[in-house]
A and B are shown apart, each in its own frame.
Chain A
């Protein structure tokens, strides 16, 4: 940023000064005067083709490094779900604690936000942390940051989303880890726990009738599936991340697990974003469960 600013300032100032200098230096003296007929210069053209090109490539490279780092979250993150809807933000801590237009995070931890939208495109933006990401209905986006100083910081919706777009903001509170723990335990209750809610949905929506834990059902066992490698019917493999789980719930036939039939109905339009998150959280909680030898979505050996 400083680098780009320096280069841009240099060119802006240099060209402006040169233009103004020429304006005075070569001001017309007599009405009939004509300028010197210079048509061009190949060497100069080459210089100002190549030099800006090289400079801009360094700018590109610098920006690319930051961006790649930003798009690839580290592994040891604190995952918080954030759902945008016209015109409020709901966030949910890993313990299930929910907040509206507020977000509490501990200082010095890598925090990953998993963003979902109930309606239109929003954008979760924390200018003080230099981060933002669109919140797009229909799929998850993630963003991550590492707060370094306790305090309260504004967050905004940066993608225009309708009438009260400007009011769709709130505060991030960055706390000392101990304060954060205290804050978490002070308000968490079992019924808000997404794993519990997800387990309930898992039965209610009849997922449990096919996805048997022992792998003997009509559908793969979900034990240990999260973050594991899943072998698909077409021979490829995918990592079972949030996006994959979401897709499997909403468009089950898109990726069929090897050895299974495409039997599952879609749940598109039947689950709210929050319910999908709860189900995902429940499936995640099965990560530590023993993986059956056969009939699993993920082969035990293939586990990371």
Chain B
């Protein structure tokens, strides 16, 4: 390990709380999003235990409603949205493009503080009366009828929005102006492309949710009528504005995970990614088309049937870039040299789960089928496959992939593989039964349900306990490895990105000298610095195609 690096360059609590080093800020985020993950996870566990019996005797209906609302708010706004961008993105983007830091390091630190302030408001709401509106805050339930602490929660999410906006702004500017010499747009790692696309959504979507929740909050505090039909407002307008952000927000969660997978797969298959420009382009396509589909959450609100037809059609269009990515990842494996190390297991798990999550989305985008499935457990299962099976798997996989870079040490491989398999099994057992429940018609957000649904609920709860174990394991061995793990060296896998050209853990300024890039991305064959057996290759077929 290098003698001096970003972790030991300065000491003391002040040096962390006032740091402008993107790597340290990433670690601050790592700690805070993990905190919210465990809060949200605790709520989820209580929900699953409660649903063991149809009568649901563990908690009262009020408490149950608060549990699923707070689970959603904590997980979506304070874990999933910041997780990969603010932790891995923050840590890696400057290194991947060969910069010393993000363009605006102070603003980066400011985003973390804004996140904390927003988080405090939300925790305050959780602690004083909780929140029982559903994470969607549909009016007039949230703005008039709910008796819970809606106002602080809305303010918290409003504030937190600025954290996302500033992070997105920082990434966009950094990618535009801070690239090292030779780092052209089409040499950028796909992880950076994915984050660039994510940032577009941060920039264009987040302000809308901020203003919408502000209006709903004002409506609640001052008894105004923007979304209240009794005072002449329109509750459906709230849904339009809400989903204008919140549907693209789904892509905020999944795009960075796709970026992680696009790094892991070529590294562990040791060959260039198949169709680089298609994967990069599909990220941008998802970010852009993702803004045209929001009203597919509203097919049954009584929205115009013409609008419903349009939005359903556009929703199918947004499925195409995701399909293109999946096909390309699969083809990357063809004739690779595939290693079964932990990050690759997550990559494999991601493809499988994202496939199910994505394909079930086609059912929901289909107008006729959505009439039946809308607001049932089918929806719950679908978006958990995307958000947990996709985004969280990507996040945990990415943490394993870059852990040696972040800490300079390797984790115990055997334990890590066990955890990956546990997560995969636990996840499927938890959420696959929910597809069946949804098809049978069990509505979501029910604290008690007809007894015929019990079997699948018990299965789901059993799966959830395995899943919980799967999350605890990495927590333990990753923490352990920070001190006792094997020293990793600069490039343990080896991988081709610029971030692996510097020491692990990196120096405060990332590189001794600004690197110059003169190679194509994921080009294992021409990288003699990686110590690989390029000559031993059976057939060096001439590269053809789009690259």
Direct contact, A vs B (beta carbon within 8 Å): yes
Q: A-side interface residues toward B, CB under 8 Å?
A: 1, 4-5, 7-8, 11-12, 15-16, 18-19, 22-23, 26-30, 32-42, 44-45, 48-49, 52-53, 56-57, 59-60, 62-68, 70-72, 86, 119-121, 123, 125, 127-128, 130-134, 136-139, 141, 154, 156-167, 251, 268-269
Do residues B368 and A70 form an inter-chain contact, with CB atoms below 8 A? Answer: yes
Q: A39-B276, A41-B545 are in contact. Are A68 and B305 (CB under 8 A)?
A: yes
Q: Which of B146, B302, B313, B372 contacts A162 (CB 8 A)?
A: B146
Rounded to whole angstroms, the CA-CA distance of A163 and B340 in the bound complex is 49
Q: Which residues of A contact B450 (CB under 8 A)?
A: 154
Which of B18-26, B36-44, B424-432, B535-543 lines the interface with chain A? B535-543
Do residues A62 and B366 form an inter-chain contact, with CB atoms below 8 A? Answer: yes
Do residues B525 and A67 form an inter-chain contact, with CB atoms below 8 A? Answer: no
Rounded to whole angstroms, the CA-CA distance of A62 and B230 in the bound complex is 38
The 9 residue pairs across chains A and B that have the minimum distance between CB atoms: A127-B441, A66-B368, A138-B229, A35-B271, A32-B533, A67-B367, A63-B366, A40-B545, A35-B336
Do residues B363 and A4 form an inter-chain contact, with CB atoms below 8 A? Answer: yes
Q: A37-B271, A66-B371 are in contact. Are A28 and B338 (CB under 8 A)?
A: yes
Rounded to whole angstroms, the CA-CA distance of A65 and B339 in the bound complex is 48
Do residues A121 and B141 form an inter-chain contact, with CB atoms below 8 A? Answer: yes
Q: A4-B362, A22-B333 are in contact. Are A36 and B338 (CB under 8 A)?
A: no
Residue of chain A at shortest CB distance from B347: A19
Kindly state whether residue B12 has any CB partner on chain A within 8 Å: no
Do residues A49 and B320 form an inter-chain contact, with CB atoms below 8 A? Answer: yes
Do residues B272 and A37 form an inter-chain contact, with CB atoms below 8 A? Answer: yes
Kindly state whether residue B481 has any CB partner on chain A within 8 Å: no
Kindly state whether residue B207 has any CB partner on chain A within 8 Å: no
Q: Which residues of B contact A56 (CB under 8 A)?
A: 316-317, 319-320, 362
Do residues B334 and A38 form an inter-chain contact, with CB atoms below 8 A? Answer: yes
Q: Which of B162-212 contact A (CB under 8 A)?
A: none
Rounded to whole angstroms, the CA-CA distance of A137 and B230 in the bound complex is 8
Q: Which residues of B contact A161 (CB under 8 A)?
A: 141
Rounded to whole angstroms, the CA-CA distance of A45 and B365 in the bound complex is 24
- Which of A71, A72, A139, A167 neighbours the largest number of chain B CB atoms within 10 Å of its CB? A71
Main secondary structure of the interface of A (DSSP, over half): mixed
Do residues B362 and A48 form an inter-chain contact, with CB atoms below 8 A? Answer: no
A-B pairs with beta carbons under 8 Å apart, 23 shown: A5-B363, A8-B362, A15-B351, A19-B348, A26-B336, A33-B270, A36-B336, A37-B272, A37-B523, A39-B543, A40-B547, A41-B545, A63-B312, A67-B308, A67-B367, A120-B144, A125-B441, A127-B372, A130-B371, A136-B236, A161-B141, A166-B445, A269-B230
Which of B104-112, B323-331, B393-401, B466-474 lines the interface with chain A? B323-331
Q: A16-B352, A39-B274, A59-B362 are in contact. Are A121 and B448 (CB under 8 A)?
A: no
Q: Which of B236, B323, B534 contacts A34 (CB 8 A)?
A: B534
Q: Which residues of B contact A132 (CB under 8 A)?
A: 300, 371-372, 374-375
Q: Which of B229, B375, B441 contacts A128 (CB 8 A)?
A: B441
Q: Which residues of A contact B339 (CB under 8 A)?
A: 27-28
Which of B73-81, B353-361, B402-410 lines the interface with chain A? B353-361
Do residues B352 and A64 form an inter-chain contact, with CB atoms below 8 A? Answer: no
Q: A22-B330, A39-B545, A156-B443 are in contact. Are A1 and B369 (CB under 8 A)?
A: yes
Residue of chain B at shortest CB distance from A139: B302
Residue of chain B at shortest CB distance from A10: B359
Rounded to whole angstroms, the CA-CA distance of A15 and B278 in the bound complex is 18
Kindly state whether residue B301 has any CB partner on chain A within 8 Å: yes
Q: Which residues of B contact A154 (CB under 8 A)?
A: 441, 450
Q: Which of B271, B376, B532 contacts A36 (CB 8 A)?
A: B271
C-beta contact mask, B263-290 vs A, less than 8 Å → 1, else 0?
0000001111011111000000000000
Q: Which residues of A contact B538 (CB under 8 A)?
A: 36
C-beta contact mask, B410-451 vs A, less than 8 Å → 1, else 0?
000000000000000000000000000000110111111110
Do residues B351 and A19 form an inter-chain contact, with CB atoms below 8 A? Answer: yes
Which of B86-94, B116-124, B132-140, B484-492 lines the interface with chain A? B132-140
Residue of chain A at shortest CB distance from B136: A160
Rounded to whole angstroms, the CA-CA distance of A60 and B541 in the bound complex is 41
Q: B-side interface residues toward A, CB under 8 Å?
A: 56, 61-62, 65, 132, 134, 136, 138, 140-141, 144-146, 229-230, 232, 234-236, 269-272, 274-278, 299-302, 305, 308-309, 312-313, 316-317, 319-320, 323-324, 326-328, 330-331, 333-340, 348, 351-352, 355-356, 359-360, 362-363, 365-372, 374-376, 440-441, 443-450, 523-525, 531-534, 536-541, 543-547
Do residues A70 and B375 form an inter-chain contact, with CB atoms below 8 A? Answer: no
- Which of A1, A38, A167 neighbours the largest number of chain B CB atoms within 10 Å of its CB? A38
Do residues A40 and B368 form an inter-chain contact, with CB atoms below 8 A? Answer: no
Q: Which residues of B contact A36 (CB under 8 A)?
A: 271, 335-336, 537-541
Do residues A33 and B316 form an inter-chain contact, with CB atoms below 8 A? Answer: no
Q: A37-B525, A45-B278 are in contact. Are A134 and B532 (CB under 8 A)?
A: no
Residue of chain B at shortest CB distance from A164: B61
Q: Which of A26, A72, A86, A130 contacts B372 (CB 8 A)?
A: A130
Do residues B335 and A67 form an inter-chain contact, with CB atoms below 8 A? Answer: no
Q: Which of A8, A22, A62, A166 contacts B448 (CB 8 A)?
A: A166
Measured CB to CB, the closest approach of chain A to B256, in angstroms, equals 22
Rounded to whole angstroms, the CA-CA distance of A64 and B317 in the bound complex is 15
Do residues B269 and A26 form an inter-chain contact, with CB atoms below 8 A? Answer: yes
Do residues B230 and A35 form an inter-chain contact, with CB atoms below 8 A? Answer: no
Residue of chain B at shortest CB distance from A266: B232
Q: Which of A35, A68, A139 contacts B335 (CB 8 A)?
A: A35
- Which of A71, A120, A136 neighbours the largest number of chain B CB atoms within 10 Å of its CB? A120
Do residues B320 and A158 form an inter-chain contact, with CB atoms below 8 A? Answer: no
Q: Which residues of B contact A66 (CB under 8 A)?
A: 367-369, 371
Q: Which residues of A contact B541 (CB under 8 A)?
A: 36-38
Measured CB to CB, the closest approach of chain A to B380, in angstroms, equals 12
Q: Which residues of A contact B333 (CB under 8 A)?
A: 19, 22-23, 26
Measured CB to CB, the closest approach of chain A to B54, in angstroms, equals 10
Do residues B532 and A63 form an inter-chain contact, with CB atoms below 8 A? Answer: no
Rounded to whole angstroms, the CA-CA distance of A36 and B541 in the bound complex is 8
Measured CB to CB, the closest approach of chain B to A14, in angstroms, equals 9
Q: Which of B234, B441, B546, B547 contacts A156 (CB 8 A)?
A: B441
- Which of B338, B366, B534 neighbours the largest number of chain A CB atoms within 10 Å of its CB? B366
Do residues A64 and B312 form an inter-chain contact, with CB atoms below 8 A? Answer: yes
Residue of chain B at shortest CB distance from A8: B359
- Which of A1, A4, A35, A123 neighbours the largest number of chain B CB atoms within 10 Å of its CB? A35
Q: A40-B276, A127-B441, A163-B61 are in contact. Are A60 and B313 (CB under 8 A)?
A: yes
Q: A22-B330, A49-B320, A161-B141 are in contact. Are A42 and B61 (CB under 8 A)?
A: no
Do residues A67 and B368 form an inter-chain contact, with CB atoms below 8 A? Answer: yes
Do residues B235 and A138 form an inter-chain contact, with CB atoms below 8 A? Answer: yes
Q: Which of A44, A60, A136, A158 contacts B316 (CB 8 A)?
A: A60
Q: Which residues of B contact A57 (CB under 8 A)?
A: 316
Do residues A63 and B367 form an inter-chain contact, with CB atoms below 8 A? Answer: yes
Q: Which of B234, B327, B372, B524 contacts A35 (CB 8 A)?
A: B524
Rounded to whole angstroms, the CA-CA distance of A63 and B352 in the bound complex is 26
Q: Which of B232, B300, B544 contacts A41 (CB 8 A)?
A: B544
